[in-house]
Amino acid sequence: MIEIRRNDPCPCGSGKKYKKCCYMDKEKNWKILRAANRAQTRKDIIKILNERPQVYKLKVKLDSMKAEHFKSTISRNIEIEGTDTLYDLHLEIQRAFNWDNDHMFSFFMSNQIWDKQSEYKANPLGEHMVSSFGDTSKPAGETEIGDLSLQKGSSFKYLFDFGDEIIHSIEVVEVYENNDPDASFPRLVKSVGKAPPQYEW
């Protein structure tokens, strides 16, 4: 870990003082602090800042809705970068299945639904709402996918809408380095089956 003082040259290499450069920008500063935390030397910081994030190819399978299980496969393959958050993944899943982003959601990284210890959650705006004393959930909006120690074969659950309980299984199909500068993420790369309507009219 490298400590950066306010009067140091900014680690981004701009030549300006840190306090007059990335320190002023919340998002840039967040990246600098994360890189500094991982770095062994000052040079490492620039190297880490220039790293291309890993791409996570995820297979998101719809398991059940209101306790009704689906017999045929309904799945979406999504590619997302390690610097995106679980909230970004939530939004992409919402788009991919055509859900209405109007309810709370949780990811359970232990792959067990309702396992509070491994829960990351947020409301539709990405805010972390803690329901009661003893709620150990972590904020999905502030958790980057690259920080979750996911590897090929890892699996976890995504629960959308605590009332209707739309449950999805997610599997990491592949983790790779993107070399295409024009590729934009997150993106939907495969769709199998038709998603059922979220509401019965």
- For residues 22 and 89, which CB has a smaller minimum distance to Zn ion in the complex? 22
What residues numbered 8-37 form the site for Zn ion, per CB under 5 A? 10, 12, 14, 21-22
Question: What phi, psi does 29 have (nearest 5°)?
Answer: -65, -40
Pairing of strands 166-177, 155-160: antiparallel
Give the interface segment with Zn ion, choosing from 5-13, 88-96, 124-132, 169-177 (CB under 5 A). 5-13
Taking the CB of residue 91, how many other CB atoms lie within 10 A of it?
A: 17
Q: What is the DSSP letter of 85?
A: B
- For residues 21 and 159, which CB has a smaller minimum distance to Zn ion in the complex? 21
Please state, in angstroms and rounded to a whole number, the distance separating the CA atoms of residues 58 and 60: 6
- For residues 48 and 173, which CB has a smaller minimum distance to Zn ion in the complex? 48
Q: At its nearest, how many Å lie between Zn ion and the CB of residue 41?
A: 18
- For residues 22 and 170, which CB has a smaller minimum distance to Zn ion in the complex? 22
Beta strand ranges found along 2-123 (DSSP E) = 54-65, 68-69, 75-81, 105-108, 119-122
CA distances from 121 to 36, 94, 105, 106, 197 (A): 27, 15, 6, 4, 23
Q: At its nearest, how many Å lie between Zn ion and the CB of residue 37?
A: 16
# binding residues, Zn ion (CB under 5 A): 5
What residues numbered 119-148 form the site for Zn ion, per CB under 5 A? none
Spatial CA neighbour of 106 closest among 88, 125, 86:
86
- For residues 9 and 126, which CB has a smaller minimum distance to Zn ion in the complex? 9
Decide if residue 109 touches Zn ion (CB under 5 A): no
Q: At its nearest, how many Å lie between Zn ion and the CB of residue 6?
A: 12
**Count of CA atoms in the C-beta half-sphere (13 A) of 193:** 16
Q: At its nearest, how many Å lie between Zn ion and the CB of residue 21?
A: 3
Instruction: List residues binding Zn ion (CB under 5 A).
Output: 10, 12, 14, 21-22
